[in-house]
Structure 1
Amino acid sequence: MAAAYGSKGVAVVTGGSAGLGRAIVVELARRGWDVAVLARGEDGLAGAVAEVTALGRRGMSVPTDVSDHRAVEAAADRVEEELGPIELWVNDAMTGVFGEFLTTDPDDFERATRVDYLGFVNGTRAALRRMVPRDRGHVIQVGSALAHRGIPLQAAYCASKHAIKGFTESVLTELLHNHSRVLLSEVDMPALNTIQFNWVKSALQHHPQPVPPIYQPEVGARAVAHVAEHPRRRTWVGEMTVVTIVGNRLSTRVADWYLAKTGYSGQQAADKHERMLPANLYEPVPGDHGAHGIFDDRAHGTSPQTWAITHRATAAAIGLGLGAAAITLLGAGAGAVRGRR
């Protein structure tokens, strides 16, 4: 089946029923994509598809546990049968468990790893099996600053994001070796205000929170959509993502010390007393929970760094203008000093 008239093509978003994935679904539909949503929760799937159709695009929901590779393959078949060839596949599905490694139940750790890492592997495989024979398409991995720097209390998530990075680089080199025109990108996110902090399985004393500064999920969604339209292999989103990655490269020992000192308190919000939702580690949580979590009061809706990477020509022109102005001011100051001699 061909894509709908005026569509940029068919996109698949895993984990698209809530949080960042939900924001990505809406942003892609707003930009003209038809979107298939793969997730477990029926209510969230229905809500996501309703938003897609309200924006005038075709939407489709496929209840899927991404840790099951057979289920992901079957979902991809359904999407292509009903919507048409998949041109864009965004891997975003995740779940989590908060607590120290030694006190985390091994089954919980393995479950989080199967979703957060093998879910990306399964999605990438399903996408490439269809894209490579056609020699076109684009897979985007939603990564994290924590793919470059592990933090306490999230060992399963950090390990999965590190694994995704290595996996993606390996597959990318294979595509390049085979002269494939299929594209593979990684977009690393900062802390986002999503529902995951309300339904993560947590052993923390206080309510879990993303490590500040916190951004709204639309900031990340706009970055993913921009990469879909202007492909780049690697993109860092948000000022703190840059600081985290570069800082860790400069001195891992300093990062170790700093996170050991601040990583526990920085991931807990003692002032938030909302009841946690049931954990979604093994089963979806009923209800349509949308894109945002409970941190709207402290989340930023924009990021200067992200604006700059999505408006490179304008940012470069502004930079050149500021540089020229600085040179002019320095020159005028030097002339004034010479005039007084």
Structure 2
Amino acid sequence: MRILHLADTHIGYSAYRRVNSSSGLNQREVDVYDALEQFVDYAINTHPDLILHAGDLFDSVRPTNRAISHVLDLLLKLSKEEIPFVVISGNHETPRLRETGSVFRLFEHIEGVYPVYAGEYEQIRFDDLGVLVHAIPHTQERIKLELEKVEINRDFKYNILMLHAGVSGVSLFKQGVFNEEIIEYDELGGEFDYIALGHYHKAVHVGGDAYYSGSTERLSFTEAGEPKGFLELDLGGDGVVRFKKLDIREMLDLEPVVYRGSLTAGEVMSKIKERILGCNPVDKVIRLKVEKIPFAVYNTIEFDEIKRLTSDAVHFEIKWDVVRDDGGTYSSNVSFKSIKSEFERYMANYDLKDEELKATLRDMGLGYLGGVSDCE
């Protein structure tokens, strides 16, 4: 039985100022759409028995109508091909208050699509396949209680567990973001035929039959250079879990330029140019760090020349580590992260004891910002 496992598609994500010339949309938003389209094309061409999406289908609780429409079109294609699609909600798209409602309700009436989003453990039976899917969406800190409800049913040939959470064991697999849930590896149990995990953005074998598929696009510079895609396996066949790479935009975190000795501004610029020209910035997302540069040298850098050399990049930023005259340092970026990312980081660090109120304010803020273009 062939299964495709994906997660963290983050539909609706956008960043930076570059606009796609054909559609007029934010280029990174288009990139995220394209990654999911590639997956759906592969599924239609190879016709698996089952698709498992392990959460964060959308990037926010209130995705735009455009993002929703894009997903609906792709799900209808899969439905037409009679490919079952199980999807659990992740931390990005799960509202703190149930009264807020979930965008996943729109999918309930699509034949062959099985959304799980109520914050509780659910079973999805595929009697014709001999498969029982044990699905646990993001639960707002009740994940361990929901895991205790899971019982293996050997009337089915295959028992599959789906979770959207970080896992702590020999290694710690987490994103370090607001509202994430963490479980111990031992709490997963060892009797499942496969465990499809979402939330951690790198494809990795956690242990036993537990796997993260990773995200389908690179969403931060911590993911620069990582391959992105999904997993394919054949239960009852060779049992090998294979990573299938998607063709996505390059993201590069270049080797830092470190100021040493008494370099002049011209010599520093030569090193910066060397890094830029060496990576061919056209159509790429790039970051360069310049470390320990004296304030006096920083003030004479040819910023216009850097802008000219990187004008064909989708995004280019330099993170400057500047040494002040008094010996102190400060960091300066030539660009900012997206408004939504900055707001989410601000709320994560905001000192408010009422966690429920804090989460509500965060969801409201992200909802209002959903219609605002991200900018540098």
Q: Which has the higher contact order (CA 8 A, sep 6+)?
A: 1
Which has the larger share of strand?
A: 2
TM over 0.5: no
Calculate the TM-score normalised by the size of structure 1. Answer: 0.39
Q: Which has the larger radius of gyration?
A: 2
Which has the larger share of helix?
A: 1
Calculate the TM-score normalised by the size of structure 2. Answer: 0.36
